[in-house]
Amino acid sequence: MEQIVTTFGINSKLLVIQVINFGILLFLLHRFLYRPLLKLMNERQEKIEQGLSDAKNASAELADASAKHAEMVAQAKDEAREIVDKAIAASEKMKDGILREAEEKSREILSAAEKQAQEETRRVVEEAKKEVGAFAILAVEKILHEKVGEQEERHHIKKAIHE
Amino acid sequence: MESIHISLAAEKITEWAGIPITNTLVTSWVVILVLLILGLVVGKNPKLIPGKLQLFFESIFSYVLGLMEETLEDKKLAQKFFPLIATIFLFIFTSNLLEFIPGVGSIGFFHGEGGEHTEFTPLFRSVNTDFNVTIALALISFFTIEIAGIAVLGLLKYSQKFVNFKAGVMGFFIGILELVSEIARLISFSFRLFGNIFAGEVLIGVMLFFLPYVAPVPLMLYEVFVGFIQAVIFSILTLFFLKIAITDAHEAH
């Protein structure tokens, strides 16, 4: 045993020193290397997990939003079609109304015009009748007058002769 | 022709207050200094987006921590024992790497009376070729394991692993065997590391003596590998024995 100790140079003081040295190294490395680095690694892991879950949430939200978006677009399309349909129907109705009104009006105007025309013609005819009557009387008078004149002359002449 | 000088014990450089300052002690200071500087550089201002050096340490740490969590099956315990396992690995691995820096083993001084009796003492010597260091590491590992076992299981339960009257004669002898193997771990831990690194050192020394150029290179590569493996073995065995120590023998069956 003695020989082993001397051959290997075992020295209790050296042994203790080595243990203490190792202890100091362990302490200092723990304090200055392991603890900050492991803490950082933990932090990073947490951050990565946080980031991953955030990304997951974000993509879920995105999917949700795009679904909502599609829904909204579809709804808007439906609404737009409805509005257009309504507008078309309304305009159709309006067109019909306007047409009918216009027809009525035109008929009214037409009938009014017709009436007026009839009135006019009647009046014209009446007037003409009147005028024609007057002319006829005048003419007759004239003719009669002339005839009467001749006859009178003749009469007068005859009378004169006879006398 | 000078002969190869191989000394199992670390050479004494000087003496201070009755403590022999050996070249391995000096080298171990260098190792500790290197690790502390590295640790301070990396750990002083760690960034969320890591640089290369930080990433290197982080990947080692996360691997080791993952392995520990898997082995101990307990996240808290793994984090508690992580510094020890990591430091054991870093210390042994750095020591074994430092062995290949030019100057380690070649820078030194001669002493003695000159002539035949002149002896060369290198200033640096690979840390793990000193039995004091390996036995110190083994003791640290050993006491950590025992204390952890007692802390987790309680003194009574833990001692029942070794002194067991309940399971009959067979159980008693198994307990004694466990006790012996527990003590034997001290020896296997320290001698494995010491033997591997010392043998590598001697092998390279012999190679350098006979074929100084090129030939030692593959050997040195191999020794780097051995140095890494020994560091891994030491820390992983500590981890496994830790797991065995904190596992209840009855639960395990």
User: Given CB atoms, is A3 within the 8 Å cutoff of chain B?
Assistant: no
pLDDT at A79: 95
What residues have CB less than 8 Å from B145, skipping those under 6 apart?
A: B238, B241, B242, B245
Confidence of residue A72 (pLDDT cuts 50, 70, 90): very high
The length of chain B, given as a count of residues: 253
ipTM exceeding 0.85? no
Asked if B57's CB is within 8 angstroms of A38's CB, the reply is: no
Per-residue pLDDT averaged across A100-116, rounded?
A: 92
Q: List CB contacts (< 8 A) between B136 and chain A.
A: 15, 18-19, 22
pLDDT at A50: 93
Answer yes or no: are the C-beta atoms of B220 and B207 closer than 8 Å: no
pLDDT at B105: 67
Query: In terms of CA atoms, which chain A residue is nearest residue B83?
Result: A30
Tell me the whole-structure pTM to 2 decimals: 0.71
β-strand pairing of B108-111 with B119-122: antiparallel
pLDDT above 70 as % of chain A: 99
Per-residue pLDDT averaged across A137-141, rounded?
A: 84
CA distance A80 to A74: 10
Answer yes or no: are the C-beta atoms of B24 and B197 closer than 8 Å: no
Interface of B with A in 192-231 (CB under 8 A): none
Per-residue pLDDT averaged across A114-119, rounded?
A: 92
Q: Is the pLDDT of residue A23 over 70?
A: yes
User: Given CB atoms, is B152 within the 8 Å cutoff of chain A?
Assistant: no
CA distance B76 to B63: 16
